[in-house]
Copies of this chain bind each other. A is one copy, B any other.
Amino acid sequence: MAEREVDRSVSQTVKAQLALRDQILSGSLRPGERISELQAVETTGASRTPVRMALVRLEEEGLLEAIPSGGFMVKAFSERDISDSIELRGTLEGLAARFAAERGVSARELEPLKECLGAIDELLRQVPISIEAFSSYVALNARFHALLTELSRSPPVIRQIDRASALPFASPSGFVMAQSALPEAQQILIIGQEHHRVVIDAIENREGARAEAVMREHARLAVRNLRLALRNRTHLDLLPALALIKTATD
């Protein structure tokens, strides 16, 4: 195999894992489809050992499912699986927010969150919001949630939230926001931003219960949003994870 170009800067396992996850979330690999190791070796450029390690990681991550007779298939999710995952994440984030509030955080630790908040405010001020701004929002929002999670200072909770985020926050590289969905999405984003503000305030004032409650409400908003999107077939691009929902034909 002299023709293989090996990139030594990052481990083959990680490279394969990223490539495969991208293929799954972008829909190149359809739900229920069996993953061929050989094919994965070709598309990722790594050899079978790292590919298998990546497959094991993705299975543990919940994106793949082991086939009893051997090998892995892309896991198929129902609409309720996705909505449950969102609520699950909200519940865990609620716990994280409560921990942060109860344990107390310094002004210094809250600073990056407030900056994030300000940056999002800036973006949402545009009416209607542009596609570029929306993309920035997606990144900023993810950052906000990650920072909030960290604020709990609880490694087990942080870890668990990371694992619960695969579905609700799936963001493959091919992510594009549909133009027509922007105004409706912006409305939702504005409400969500209000939640963000409340949780920060609650944490600052060490109101654990309030911090927890608002994150749960935040998740419920996301669930309602998901339902609406599916029913109206609008702004589906908002949630890349929808690619993983098993269709009626399957």
Give A residues with C-beta under 8 Å from B.
Answer: 49, 52-53, 56-57, 60-62, 77, 80-81, 84-85, 87-88, 91-92, 94-95, 99, 154-157, 159-160, 163-164, 167
Contacts and interface: CB of A to CB of B under 8 A. Distances in A.
Given A57-B56, A164-B160, A91 B88 contact: no
The SS class assigned to the A binding surface is: helix
A42 B250 CA distance: 45
B56 A156 contact: no
Contacts of A99: 84
A47 to B, nearest CB: 12
Contact of A84 (B57, B60, B157, B163): B157
B154 A62 contact: no
Contact of A155 (B57, B81, B157): B81
Nearest to A58: B60
A14 to B, nearest CB: 11
Contacts of A163: 160, 163
Contact of A81 (B53, B62, B88, B156): B156
Given A52-B53, A163-B163, A156 B88 contact: yes
Nearest to A62: B159
Contact of A167 (B56, B85, B94, B156): B156
Given A53-B53, A56-B60, A84-B99, 16 more contacts: A49-B49, A52-B53, A56-B57, A62-B159, A80-B154, A84-B154, A84-B155, A84-B156, A87-B95, A88-B92, A88-B95, A88-B160, A91-B91, A91-B92, A160-B163, A163-B163
Given A91-B95, A163-B163, A61 B60 contact: yes
Nearest to A75: B155
Shortest 9 CB-CB contacts between residues of A and residues of B: A60-B60, A84-B154, A85-B156, A84-B156, A91-B95, A56-B56, A81-B156, A53-B56, A88-B157
Contacts of A160: 88, 160, 163-164
Most chain B CB atoms below 10 A, which of A57, A60, A159, A160: A160
A99 B88 CA distance: 11
A155 B84 CA distance: 9
Contacts of A88: 92, 95, 156-157, 160
